[in-house]
Structure 1
Amino acid sequence: MLEHVPRGHLAAAALVSTGLIAALSITDDAKRPSVITQSTNIPGLEIQGIETQATPIAIPPVESIIQEVAAKPEKTVVITPEPVGPQWKEFTVQNGDNLSILFKRAGLNDRAIYELFSDAKEAKDLRHIRPGQKMSFLVEDGRLTGLKYIISELDSLTFERSSKGFSGKQITLKPDVKYAFRQGTIDSSLYMAGKRAGMPSPLTMEMANIFGWDIDFALDIQKGDSFKVMYEEQFLKGKKIGFGKVIAAEFTNGGKTFKAVRYTDKDGHSAYYTPDGRGMHKAFLRTPIEFARISSHFNLARKHPVLHIIRAHKGTDYAAARGTPIRATGNGKVSFAGRKGGYGNTVIIQHGQGIQTLYGHMNAFAKGMRSGARVSQGDVIGYVGSTGLASGPHLHYEFHVNGQVRNPVTVPLPKAIGIDKAELARFNETTRPLIAKLDQFKSNNRLAVAKNNSNDN
């Protein structure tokens, strides 16, 4: 009769039965009544030998217990899941992506882009998306209600829809900053020396820009030249996420040592200076291309490589790969941008004080390059090419003073403006500890890191 009872119920009933039997089998003889003997010493009252007989307990048969357990229905627990709201959809920007493509992946059309740009002025930064960045969308009932744009590990933009439309918010995290040191000796090029020293390539280029007014990195670099650099490394929650600016640097070229330190004045403007407060930033860069080589020097009696006749070479040629950026060597105004005979695509800049520079054989012009445009020193104005009378890709660079052509490599450049006397004490107080840190860095130290306690970055 028990074959239809579930095994779980049989086990439960067996346990109950076993427990009851164990509880009733405490005495030596279950058939004999239990006797409890008590005595008391309460004054005036003596009770001894009182026997109390335990009342027998009737144990129901095991079969009846099993049937009773089996008759009780099992309780079923029903878990109701929490309602799930809209979920963020995250996408990584790929090569060739634009906003329209990303919004389409999120199930949105161009109308959502229009609404976002109409409501939030911060949305204009979405035009500058780059591969590797991330964008997340929150979509409800086919409408965009939120957007997150991760620009970098420190910077992001968020947009939220309200009854009044979209509002944008820029979030910038402040990293912990430490100083890192690197040094190297040049065997073939500054770029390779920096790479061997473990320096990020952009910092090697920044160092070249810092010393670019005193050293021609296309002409002056020699085997055995050396450098030491102290720069910022950025950390977020203990993780290194990138690097900042060069704080102090030293470059030895041909036995002559140059030093530079970064200083932020009381108005918040940062620049590089010598340890005694003279500006590293001259009125003109010595070269318009980084890491190029001179393929033809200034020579008024040179034989032209294409025409094969004696024709004055009124500038300096810098050989570089096609498409290499060309930078304005000084602040000024574009007086010409277009095709100019044998020069090919050419830009001419007026700098004031009778100085004019010319950049020829460009492959293409930088965006916005036209007559009347204002440029600042270091701005990209075009790209290396071989237009006009050129035997290969290179930049032809000329330097004119009061209408007379001058050798760009040797022409004296105007001196830089230094620290004002009224701020010299503050400059010395801020920069001397930085120069001391750089000087303490010994050649046998591969890497030294020190906490940055300075607020002048």
Structure 2
Amino acid sequence: MTDSSHDAVRRSNLERANAASITIPAPLLPHAFNGRWTRRHWLHASLFATIGALVAAIVPGFSTAMQSPGKTQRMTLSLPLPQLGVKHRTTSDHWQSVSLKPGQTLSGVFAELGIPQRQLQDVMEHPKIQPMLRRMRPGTEVSFNLPADGSVRAMRIDMGKYAVNGEPVELEFDGNALREREVAHEITTRTVVLSGKVGASLFESARKVGLGSKQLSQLTDEMFKYDIDFDSDLDRNDRFSVVVDQTWKDGQLVDTGPVLAATFTMDGKLKSAFRHVRDGKPEYFTPDGRSLKRPFIRMPIPYARLTSGFGGRNHPVLGRFRMHKGVDYAAGVGTPIQAAGDARVEFVGWKGGYGRAVILNHGNGRTTLYGHMSRFANAKAGQRVSQGTVIGYVGASGLATGPHLHYEFRVNGVHQNPLKMTLPPPQPLQGAALLAFKNETHRALDKIREVENVIYAPGDDTRVASADKPVKSASRNKRG
């Protein structure tokens, strides 16, 4: 093929290519912008604007994150924490208590709780537990520390009133060892004022405010025996206030001490008595320091009735006129008989028509005789006893028609009428002892007044309160 032929073919191809480019269909070509916005233009513009805003917000954050961090000031605070024992770090305490029932044994309790016999054997052989086992009674509380893992960590035995020292024993199991652990108790003693109205019964009212028979006996037999006739002098609206020390153990009242001070307000008149230790012995005194103790008790038997006085009479058994050299007090069999005064026991035994009798020697030639007893107390010949000590009990031994006490008083062997004996009272307090006593009485009276001023307002009931505590209601006795 010549050069002219090649040129002819190249021209022919170019013409066909140009013709193909010209024949593109018109609808595929974009329309030219003619100055007016269509819906498509607005959609495109909104999409591009949104994309631009997002890019503008994100890009600066990336640039900041890529920068190296600057220096930051730091502070470390050390907080000391308490060290926990091994027991607290592992498991918690789970105490379970069992109160022994009649016939129940410690081995039975172990078996009931599924505690291994090996641990029971360790407990039974412990030197502190062995003597307790003989004293266990129904009501003894046995507690076990039983963690969730089924082991036994510790046990505690509380004997209550049967305990020698009053404290429970706690034993801790440590592997094959068993060791004793101290049990901490919270024991507090505080002085309180117990106050109430006599009401229908002094005994019942005293019991309601927290006084026991011991404190009531101190009121009636030691403090106000010669100033108040408790059978006829008291009115239901008369009031009493008593100062005592109370001992609390683990939040429970366990003991009320002797009466430290007491007042009776009768028809607006105040009678008061105070406890004071003289020569190592407690006594009760009037506010001016005079002892309320008498050398001899005229009636050495409480709640008795005088049935025969001193002098001549027909003997109820012998049936003839005979000098009655003492006085007789009728009372039920077993009524306690008290020593009329401090003395040494001279005779205890059977004495003819007196039956079972006790003779006390009070010194300075004065003796007293107590006859017709049903039985003796713990008095032994040669023993010293204090006034009010129980030496025997009422009976009808010897020449007697019924249970009563025959009481005689002799001076140098001569019988005297016990009801008419006048003996000098004990020496009153003097000097420094009197000054210290009066300081004590002022404080006690201040406590009593503080309580009474609060609780005996119109419409108030019988209450109990401490001088340094809020007043708490103790009973509901209406004023009569």
Amino acid paired to 2:331:
A
1:325 CA displacement: 1.0
Secondary structure at 1:349 match in 2: strand
- 1:349 aligns to what? 360
- Alignment partner for residue 289 of structure 2, among 269, 274, 277? 277
Alignment check: 8 A CA contact 2:99 2:139 kept: no
SS of equivalent residue, structure 1 residue 151? helix
Match of 1:383 in 2: 393
1:173 aligns with 2:187: yes
Q: For residue 259 of structure 1, what is the amino acid of its counterpart?
A: S
> RMSD across aligned C-alpha pairs, in angstroms?
5.0
Please state whether the residue corresponding to 2:51 is helix, strand or coil: coil
Distance 2:158 2:307 in 1: 50
Out of 82, 90, 100, the residue aligned to residue 99 of structure 2 is 90
Q: Structure 1 residues 447, 362: closer, same or farther in 2, change over 3 A?
A: same
1:246 pairs with 2:259: yes
Q: Secondary structure at the match of 1:302?
A: strand
Within a 5 Å distance, the mapping from 1:8-87 to structure 2 comes to: 38-40=51-53
Contact (CA 8 Å) 1:302, 1:311: kept in 2 or not? yes
- Do the aligned partners of residues 161 and 183 (structure 1) sit closer, same or farther apart at CA in structure 2, a change above 3 Å counting? same
Distance 2:107 2:413 in 1: 58
- Per the alignment, residue 80 of structure 2 pairs with none
Q: CA deviation at 1:319?
A: 1.2
CA drift of 1:375 comes to: 1.5
Counterparts of 1:113 and 1:337, CA distance in 2: 47
2:188 and 2:247 in contact (8 A); partners too: no
Change (3 A) 1:225 1:117: same
Deviation at 1:243, TM superposition (A): 4.7
Distance 1:401 1:302, change over 3 A: same
The C-alpha deviation readout for 1:238-293, integer Å capped at 9, x for no partner, is 7777754434345699x99853123457x986431101011112332232111212
Residue identity in the other structure for 2:429: I
- Structure 2 letter corresponding to 1:90: S
How far off its partner does 1:41 sit? 7.2
TM-score (norm 1): 0.61
Trace 1:216-255 onto structure 2 (pairs within 5 A): 223-225=232-234, 228-231=239-242, 232=244, 234=246, 236=248, 243-250=256-263
Kindly indicate whether the alpha-carbon contact (under 8 Å) linking 2:297 and 2:340 is maintained by their aligned counterparts in 1. Answer: yes
- Provide the C-alpha distance between the structure 2 equivalents of 1:263 and 1:147, rounded to a whole number of angstroms: 40
Question: In the TM superposition, what whole-angstrom CA distance separates every residue of 1:319-358 from its partner, at most 9, and x where no partner exists?
Answer: 1111111111212211111111111110111111111111
The alignment status of 1:447 with 2:462, answered yes or no, reads yes
The one of 399, 405, 408 equivalent to 1:398 is 408
Shift of 1:116: 5.1
C-alpha displacement at 1:300, in angstroms? Answer: 2.1
Higher helix share: 2
The CA deviation at 1:145 is: 7.9
> Counterpart of 1:195?
204
Partner of residue 261 from structure 1, selected from 254, 274, 282:
274
Deviation at 1:309, TM superposition (A): 1.2
For 1:39, the aligned partner's letter is G
Equivalent-residue separation in structure 2 for 1:446 and 1:406 (angstroms): 49
Q: Which amino acid aligns with 1:337?
A: V
**Take 1:113 and 1:278, find their aligned partners in 2: how far apart are those partners?**
59
Decide which moves more: 315-324 or 203-212: 203-212
Residues 1:290 and 2:305 are matched in the alignment: no
Please tell me whether the aligned partners of residues 158 and 170 of structure 1 are also in contact (alpha carbons under 8 angstroms): no
- 2:369 & 2:125 partners in 1: Cα distance? 43
Q: Which runs of 5+ in 1 are unaligned?
A: 1-34, 47-81
Task: Choose the corresponding residue for 1:302, options 313, 329, 332.
Answer: 313
> What secondary structure is seen at the aligned counterpart in 1 of 2:321?
coil
Helix, strand or coil at the partner of 1:334: strand
Q: Unaligned regions of 5+ residues in structure 2, if any? A: 1-46, 60-90, 111-119, 146-153, 470-480
For 1:106 and 1:258, the matched residues in 2 are separated by 57
Q: What is the TM-score of this pair, normalised by structure 2?
A: 0.58
Give the SS at the match of 2:333: coil
The percent identity for this pair of structures is 32
Aligned counterparts of 2:186 and 2:298: Cα–Cα separation in 1: 37
C-alpha contact 2:223 2:284 (8 A) present in aligned 1: no
Alignment-derived partner of residue 198 in structure 2:
184
* Residue 446 of structure 1, CA deviation: 4.6
The alpha-carbon distance between structure 1 residues 303 and 245, as it changes in their structure 2 partners (threshold 3 A), is same
CA distance, structure 1, for counterparts of residue 280 and residue 345 of structure 2: 30
Picking from 323, 327, 348, the partner of 1:312 is: 323
Partner amino acid, structure 2, of 1:248: A
Confirm or deny that 1:330 pairs with 2:346: no
Q: CA deviation at 1:360?
A: 0.6
